[in-house]
């Protein structure tokens, strides 16, 4: 049933890559869709939920879509600076290749 010999001869599953308290919280979430200790172990819970490909994750309790939107807005706000800096550094470091890099950087959508 499990990969990597997780199920031993005693019909027990040993999970060594997730802390016990995190696994308990994840199992509680699976059965109740509540994660009372989410704030204390959010990174570990999200990692475990991703590792075990939970359909719903504890992040759903805290509007992960809104967090994702804010994160993407933040990243997008930096793209212009990154492209400009990259172009400047390219001109400084590899002036002989500016004719190649400039059209590529110019096509980056910001």
Question: What is the C-alpha to C-alpha distance for residues 19 and 36, in angstroms, rounded to an integer?
Answer: 17
Take residue 24 and report the two structure tokens written for it: 């308990």
The whole-model pTM stands at: 0.48
pLDDT band at 46 (very low <50, low <70, confident <90, very high): confident
Domain layout of the chain by residue ranges: 1-61, 65-106
**Residue range 53-95, pLDDT digits in tens:** 887 776 666 656 666 777 777 777 777 777 777 767 777 777 7
Q: Which CATH superfamily is domain 1-61 in?
A: Potassium Channel Kv1.1; Chain A (3.30.710.10)
Q: Calculate mean pLDDT across residues 34-42.
A: 84
pLDDT at 19: 93
Judge whether 22 and 44 are in contact, CB under 8 Å.
Answer: yes
Residue 1 exposed, middle or buried by CB count within 10 Å (0-12, 13-18, 19+):
exposed
Q: How confident is the model at residue 29, as a pLDDT? A: 87
> pLDDT at position 1, please?
42
């Amino acid at each position: 049933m499990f990969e990597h010999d997780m199920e031993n001869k005693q019909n027990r599953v040993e999970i060594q890559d997730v802390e016990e308290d995190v696994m308990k919280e994840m199992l509680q979430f699976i059965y109740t869709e509540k994660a009372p200790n989410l704030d204390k172990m959010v990174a570990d819970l999200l990692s475990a939920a991703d590792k075990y490909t939970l359909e719903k994750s504890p992040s759903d309790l805290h509007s992960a879509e809104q967090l994702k939107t804010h994160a993407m807005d933040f990243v997008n706000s930096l793209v212009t600076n990154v492209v400009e800096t990259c172009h400047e550094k390219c001109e400084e470091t590899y002036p002989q290749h500016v004719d190649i890099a400039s059209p590529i950087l110019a096509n980056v959508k910001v």
